Amino acid sequence: MLMKTSAQSLTEQLALRFADRIRSRLLAPGARLPSVRQCAQQHGVSPSTVVAAYDQLLAQGLVHARKNRGFFVREMSPGRGEGALADGPKTGSRAGASPVNATALIRGMFHKVSNKPHPGMGVFPPDWLESTFMPAAVRKVTGTRALQDFSLQYGEPLGDAGLRRVLSQKLATLNVHAEADHIITTVGATHALDIVSRTLLRAGDPVMVEEPGWAVEFARLAALGMRILPVPRRADGPDLEVMARYCDVHKPKMYVSVSVFHNPTGYCLSPGSAHRLLQLANRHNFHIVEDDTYSHIAPEHATRLTALDGLQRTIYVSGFAKILAPNWRIGYLAAPPALVEPLLDTKLLSTLTTPALLEKALALCIEQGQLRRHAERIRTRLDAARARSVKLALGAGCTFAAEPVGLFGWVDAGVDTDALAQRMLDEGYLIAPGALFHAARTPSTLMRINFATTQDAAFWRVFARLRAAG
């Protein structure tokens, strides 16, 4: 709220608010600032105050003006220092999502805009993840002897043998049959995806990704110099006709998929689509990376490409950040035998090893059934939260672009959610606009909501008010 009694003028307060958000990446490069009229109405100030504030942002090099279009956040210019900016978004077949655009929501996790629930977050609330079994497991494996045996030397290159053994058993319940020696532990699932990309791809290689999809994956591949080929994601799986055309024209090397509880739509792959996709991969000789990040809240019988393929052309990736503790950063991949050594070489070059003590604690939690029971409690709680959240969203005038399942809802707000996100920030809420989930950031009326953090009726009242204001 702008304060007329503040020592700073209204112009200075408004300019500072936008500047803070731009520098903290809560306003991503390429984002359009509200029009002068809209901004004046939103903040209860005169248009001349807004013009003066925007002029200050221009002078600081934080925004640039486009004739007859408005003011836009300027892009960071690579290689020119943290404060250097360029005039507008990059274009070209390898650009994909800007890494800064992609990390805007992640930065929001660390740059708390308020103490209110954040509908745009990708994790469960901390109180959902609290447990007594995790600290107990850590204490059990961190006795004096353990610290001497495991902390004063590098761990096993593939990862803790005990954890890999229980992971092999866990995967078998999903009909994914992987020997312990074909599993590599990583620093989270994102690290596993990065290991696969750096091992199997070279700069300039074409890679198929699902769209909508997670912006960090687009940006990560683009940062490695890959050519991003967006594949529309449908309810039953990827658009196979688009994939076939890509295969004929571009000869892609890889396809990255979230088969089960796809982010952000919640879609699950159908058996028929999975079989046709594997046939296409075999015919055109590309690898499939299956990111099963949401396996802990998904049904075991859900169709997984890796189960059907038997780890021949597929590579399986998962982790425990969503269900256990975001900061434990334990992930893993299961790969065809011929790829294990090349993938391990890449892991060793990037991190040398992974934390054996945490891996041993996790193995204990899995072996004793504590993680399974914890996941069951989370699923039960999530089902109830989802029902409440859906009711509130529909009451606020939204519609669902996909059936509400899993952790996320893919919601049509009926207004530009990029612009709405800025106004929601003024109210202390961080939302995830639909533009974040496309390889090339374009305006969208869609947004992703987290069912666990959208049960607050107060949020939906603010949402409905701002949505109606246009």
pLDDT tens-digit map of 307-325: 999 999 999 999 998 898 8
Whole-number Å distance between alpha carbons of 316 and 221: 18
Whole-number Å distance between alpha carbons of 78 and 128: 40
Every domain of the chain with CATH number 1.10.10.10 lies at 10-89
Length, in residues, of the chain:
470
Every domain of the chain with CATH number 3.40.640.10 lies at 131-369
State what percent of residues in the chain have pLDDT above 70: 90
Which tokens in the block code for residue 123? Answer: 């994790």
Containing 399, the helix (H) or strand (E) segment is strand 399-400
What CATH number belongs to 10-89?
A: 1.10.10.10
Whole-number Å distance between alpha carbons of 224 and 253: 14
Single-letter amino acid, residue 18: F
**343-357: buried (b, 16+ CB within 10 Å) or exposed (e) per residue?**
bbebbeeeeebbbbb
The answer to whether 368 touches 131, Cβ cutoff 8 Å, is no
Residue of 26, 24, 3, 23 lying closest to 14 (CA atoms): 3
Question: How much is the pLDDT for 310?
Answer: 94
Q: What is the mean pLDDT of residues 338-346?
A: 97
The answer to whether 446 touches 401, Cβ cutoff 8 Å, is yes
Each residue's pLDDT tens digit, 274-300: 999 999 999 999 999 999 999 999 988
What CATH number belongs to 103-128+372-469?
A: 3.90.1150.10
Give the SS3 label for residue 351.
helix
Name the residue with tokens 């990059």.
90
Residue of 317, 294, 319, 320 lying closest to 306 (CA atoms): 317
Whole-number Å distance between alpha carbons of 341 and 199: 10
CB atoms near residue 130 (< 10 Å)? 10
pLDDT-based confidence at 104, cuts 50/70/90?
Answer: low
Every domain of the chain with CATH number 3.90.1150.10 lies at 103-128+372-469
Give the SS3 label for residue 332.
strand
pLDDT-based confidence at 89, cuts 50/70/90?
Answer: very low
Q: What is the mean pLDDT of residues 25-54?
A: 86
User: Is the CATH number of domain 131-369 3.40.640.10?
Assistant: yes
Each residue's pLDDT tens digit, 134-173: 999 988 888 756 666 666 677 799 999 999 999 999 999 9
